[in-house]
Amino acid sequence: MNGSPRKKQRTDVQESIVTVILGAQWGDEGKGKVVDLLATTADVVCRCQGGNNAGHTIVVDGIEYDFHLLPSGIIQPNVKSVIGNGVVIHLPQLFDEIEKNVKKGMKDWEQRLIISDRAHLVFDFHQAVDGLQEQEKNQKGQGLGTTKKGIGPTYSSKATRNGIRVGDLLGDFEKFREKFKTLVATYERMFPNLQVNIEDELVRYEKYAIKIKPLVYDTVSFLDKAIREGKKILVEGANAAMLDIDFGTYPYVTSSNCTVGGVCTGLGISPIRISTIVGVVKAYTTRVGDGPFPTELSNEIGDLMQERGGEIGVTTKRKRRCGWLDVFLLQYTNMINGYTAFCVTKLDILDTLKEVKIAVGYNLNGKRIHYMPSTASDLAKVECEYITLPGWEASTENVREFSDLPKNAQSYINKIEELVGVPIKWIGVGKGRESIIKIN
């Protein structure tokens, strides 16, 4: 060392804003609506994980759009939409989804949709295997309530390194043919009843290769360039923290990381680029399918939440189980995700209740615990400690300012903020884009 001062490292990175939207509970919190709201000022909207097992509903000018694979920002005319490498893609579903939304008014999607060449493909036989595996589990009383969309088997193929990526489809088709046959043979050995018409599928995918080619790009370099140019990037997480394969209620989880770490691995974005992490929280709690649910209400209040909230899964069409808001759970998912802000949705669903409860602690085997149980069996045994707040028994649907909310509704929101320690920036009181209260 000669004692001379070190030169400051030069960088061409401008101040890019990368905002991440994540489900803070068991999914169905209304992430798509928040993405739609924030996408109006974004340059790029991304999906980073999951597949068509996700379901996001957007209502714009009275028109309801349902997205499963497409990023919700696709309906914004000036926004690029990226399907990242961490997503698993069923091409028939993708193009079916595009067609349905075009009929509802979605325009110019071809110029704005970008698909990673590293994303893995979901085939029909993956979906068939998903159903067969669930059938086997159900016979043993161990069903997981999977969506049967082939997501788990596709991620399994990815992990065992015999999966097929978008880039494989667009390369030498003879090599794709051999990979496809090998993958089918693997599953046929595992499931003798599985039937796949290989030649018909290959003809089908040869056509898909032509159809998808103009949309495919190296999304890692695309996003890096966007960041260096100071573009506003919005990342739309699918599923939710309690469905994360590592941190959720395993095995009643999805097959990907739907916490903040999945954003980095699913898009190739460095964690230091992420500036804002928004947790989306339903004003009560719901979950679809099986698995432990400490605050579940199997009574008339749960039925009221289900009916008033229209709690039917966008993807599964199954009724969602409903229960009180679980702050202990939110504190846990905040440990993992480090939320910088909350959006609380569906506050209006609680408008008719005389009182509302919030779970603030868990007791396991008669003792207060300060951690989230790692096993589903332990979580199923916890007893919740609640605080009770007075309801507001007044409509919030047309309220657009926080100060105009009924006082007891304000108290409910303030109590959530106080207990979790995360500022609440938005409150949803209806279906449409316009029915969100923004808190400065």
The strand pairing partners of 59, in sequence order, are: 64
- Per the annotation, does 32 bind a ligand? yes
| pLDDT at residue number 146 | 63
- Per the annotation, does 145 bind a ligand? no
For residues 107-128, give the mean pLDDT: 95
CA distance 319 to 259: 25
Residue 376 CA: distances (Å) to CA of 236, 293, 335: 27, 9, 19
CA distance 20 to 42: 12
- Of 3, 377, 44, 19, the C-alpha closest to 225 is 44
For residues 149-173, give the mean pLDDT: 95
Classify 138 as helix, strand or coil.
helix
| pLDDT at residue number 4 | 46
| pLDDT at residue number 335 | 98
Residue 62 binned pLDDT confidence (cut-offs 50, 70, 90): confident
Query: Catalytic residue among 36, 43, 56, 120, which?
Result: 56
- The tally of CA atoms less than 13 A away on the side-chain side of residue 283 is 27
Q: What are the tens digits of pLDDT across the range 17-60?
A: 899 999 999 999 998 888 888 988 999 999 999 998 777 777 77
Q: Which of 62-66, 117-121, 203-207, 216-220 has the lowest mean pLDDT?
A: 62-66
CA distance 260 to 415: 25
For residues 300-307, give the mean pLDDT: 96
Backbone angles phi, psi at 325, to 5 degrees: -60, 135
Q: Count CB neighbours of 438 within 10 A.
A: 12
- Per the annotation, does 181 bind a ligand? no
Q: What are the tens digits of pLDDT across the range 195-229?
A: 999 999 999 999 999 999 999 999 999 999 999 99
Q: Counting Cβ atoms within 10 Å, is residue 351 exposed (0-12), middle (13-18) or buried (19+)?
A: middle
Query: Catalytic residue among 80, 90, 149, 158, which?
Result: 158
- Per the annotation, does 407 bind a ligand? no
Task: Let me know if 56 is a catalytic residue.
Answer: yes
CA distance 289 to 287: 7
CA distance 237 to 159: 21
Q: Is the pLDDT of residue 281 over 80?
A: yes
- Per the annotation, does 428 bind a ligand? yes
- Per the annotation, does 54 bind a ligand? yes
- Report yes or no: 86 and 54 within 8 Å, Cβ to Cβ: no
Average pLDDT across the chain, whole number: 91
User: DSSP class of residue 96?
Assistant: H
- The tally of CA atoms less than 13 A away on the side-chain side of residue 429 is 23
- Per the annotation, does 281 bind a ligand? no
- Of 274, 279, 280, 278, the C-alpha closest to 261 is 274
Calculate Rg over the CA atoms of the chain.
23
CA distance 286 to 296: 8
Task: Let me know if 175 is a catalytic residue.
Answer: no
Report helix, strand and coil shares of the chain as percent, to nearest 5: 40, 20, 40
- Per the annotation, does 285 bind a ligand? no
- Per the annotation, does 40 bind a ligand? no
Q: Is the pLDDT of residue 233 over 50?
A: yes
| pLDDT at residue number 8 | 44
Cα dihedral 226→99→48→430 (10° resolution): 100
Which helix or strand (DSSP H or E) is residue 436 part of?
A: strand 436-438
Q: What are the tens digits of pLDDT across the range 319-369?
A: 899 999 999 999 999 999 999 999 999 999 999 999 999 999 999 999 999
CA distance 295 to 229: 46
- Per the annotation, does 189 bind a ligand? no
- Of 165, 162, 154, 166, the C-alpha closest to 181 is 162
Q: What are the tens digits of pLDDT across the range 138-154?
A: 656 655 556 678 999 99
Residue 7 binned pLDDT confidence (cut-offs 50, 70, 90): very low
Residue 9 binned pLDDT confidence (cut-offs 50, 70, 90): very low
Task: Let me know if 303 is a catalytic residue.
Answer: no
For residues 97-117, give the mean pLDDT: 93
| pLDDT at residue number 289 | 85
Residue 5 binned pLDDT confidence (cut-offs 50, 70, 90): very low
Q: Is the pLDDT of residue 103 over 50?
A: yes
For residues 83-93, give the mean pLDDT: 96
Q: Counting Cβ atoms within 10 Å, is residue 97 exposed (0-12), middle (13-18) or buried (19+)?
A: buried
- Per the annotation, does 88 bind a ligand? no
